[in-house]
A and B are shown apart, each in its own frame.
Chain A
Amino acid sequence: MTQSAEHVLDHFELFRGPEYQQMLANKKKMFENPRDPAEVERIREWAKTPEYREKNFAREALTVNPAKACQPLGAVFVAVGFEKTLPFVHGSQGCVAYYRSHLSRHFKEPSSCVSSSMTEDAAVFGGLNNMIDGLANAYNMYKPSMIAVSTTCMAEVIGDDLNAFIKTSKEKGSVPAEFDVPFAHTPAFVGSHVTGYDNAMKGILEHFWDGKAGTAPKLERVPNEKINFIGGFDGYTVGNIKEVKHIFEAMGIEYTILGDNSNVFDTPTDGEFRMYDGGTTLEDAANAIHAKATISMQHFCTEKTLPFIKNHGQEVVSFNHPVGVTGTDAFVMALSRITGKEIPEQLALERGRLVDAIADSSAHIHGKKFAIYGDPDLCLGLAAFLLELGAEPTHVLATNGNKDWAEKVQAVFDSSPFGKNCQVYPGKDLWHMRSLLFTEPVDFLIGNTYGKYLERDTGTPLIRIGFPIFDRHHKHRYPVWGYQGGLNVLVTILDKIFDEIDRNTNVPAKSDYSFDIIR
Chain B
Amino acid sequence: MSVTEKQSVAEIKARNKELIAEVLKVYPEKTAKRRAKHLNVHENGKSDCGVKSNIKSIPGVMTIRGCAYAGSKGVVWGPIKDMIHISHGPVGCGQYSWAARRNYYIGTTGIDTFVTMQFTSDFQEKDIVFGGDKKLAKIMDEIQELFPLNNGITVQSECPIGLIGDDIEAVSKVKSKEYDGKTIVPVRCEGFRGVSQSLGHHIANDAIRDWVFDKLPADAAPRFEPSAYDVAIIGDYNIGGDAWSSRILLEEMGLRVIAQWSGDGSLAELEATPKAKLNVLHCYRSMNYISRHMEEKYGIPWCEYNFFGPSKIAESLRKIASYFDDKIKEGAERVIAKYQPLMDAVIAKYRPRLEGKTVMLFVGGLRPRHVIGAYEDLGMEVVGTGYEFGHNDDYQRTAQHYVKDGTLIYDDVTGYEFEKFVEKVQPDLVGSGIKEKYVFQKMGVPFRQMHSWDYSGPYHGYDGFAIFARDMDMAINSPVWKMAKAPWKQAPKPLLQAAE
Contact = CB atoms under 8 A, between A and B. Distances in A.
Contacts of A117: 56-60, 63
A189 B499 contact: no
Given A4-B345, A270-B485, A24 B244 contact: yes
Interface string A114-147: 1111111011000000110111111111110000
Contacts of A10: 456, 467
Given A94-B191, A123-B192, A189 B495 contact: no
Contacts of B117: 64-65, 453
A104 B92 contact: no
Contacts, number: 365
A43 B57 CA distance: 47
Contacts of B60: 88, 114-117, 133-139, 141
Interface residues of B, number: 137
A8 B159 CA distance: 44
Interface string A2-43: 111110111100110001100110011011111100011001
B220 interface: no
A158 B61 contact: no
B380 interface: no
A115 B69 contact: no
B247 A274 contact: no
Nearest to B272: A31
Interface string B4-35: 00000000000000000000001110110000
A8 to B, nearest CB: 4
Given A32-B266, A114-B62, A188-B91, A272 B67 contact: no
A140 B31 CA distance: 10
Contact of A192 (B91, B266, B435, B458): B91
Contacts of A73: 92
B82 A32 contact: yes
A352 interface: no
B433 to A, nearest CB: 8
Contact of B111 (A44, A104, A134): A44
A61 B121 contact: yes
Nearest to B474: A8
B130 interface: no
Interface in A177-225: 187-190, 192
Contacts of A143: 498-499
Q: Which of B124, B146, B197, B342 has the most CB of A within 10 A?
A: B146
Contacts of A114: 60-62
B117 to A, nearest CB: 6
B224 A101 contact: no
B59 A137 contact: yes
A14 to B, nearest CB: 6
A133 B59 contact: yes
Interface in A241-285: 267-276
Q: Which of B109, B127, B160, B192 has the most CB of A within 10 A?
A: B192
A95 interface: yes
Given A98-B97, A450-B98, A43 B148 contact: yes
B406 interface: no
B383 interface: no
Given A62-B121, A98-B96, A134-B59, A40 B91 contact: no
Contacts of B68: 94
Interface of B: 26-28, 30-31, 56-70, 82, 89-93, 95-98, 100, 104, 106, 108-112, 116-125, 127-128, 135-136, 138-139, 142-143, 145-146, 148-149, 151, 158-160, 162-164, 191-195, 197, 223-224, 240-241, 244-245, 247-248, 251, 257-260, 264, 266-269, 272, 338-339, 342, 345-346, 348-350, 414-416, 419, 433-435, 437-444, 456-458, 462-463, 466-467, 469-470, 480, 484-486, 489, 492-499
- What are the nearest 9 A-B pairs in CB distance? A94-B67, A70-B92, A275-B498, A134-B59, A134-B60, A33-B268, A137-B60, A98-B96, A5-B345
Interface of A: 1-6, 8-11, 14-15, 19-20, 23-24, 27-28, 30-35, 39-40, 43-44, 47, 52, 55-56, 59-66, 68-73, 88, 91-95, 97-102, 104-105, 108-120, 122-123, 130-131, 133-143, 152-154, 157-158, 187-190, 192, 267-276, 431, 434, 450, 453, 457
Given A47-B110, A72-B92, A141-B499, 13 more contacts: A2-B463, A5-B342, A11-B241, A14-B467, A19-B248, A69-B95, A95-B93, A97-B66, A100-B435, A133-B60, A273-B497, A274-B442, A453-B110
30 contacts: A1-B338, A9-B466, A14-B245, A14-B467, A31-B269, A33-B223, A47-B111, A59-B146, A64-B118, A92-B67, A93-B57, A94-B68, A94-B69, A97-B435, A101-B435, A102-B95, A102-B96, A114-B60, A115-B60, A119-B194, A133-B30, A134-B60, A137-B60, A142-B416, A143-B498, A154-B163, A192-B91, A274-B442, A434-B110, A457-B109
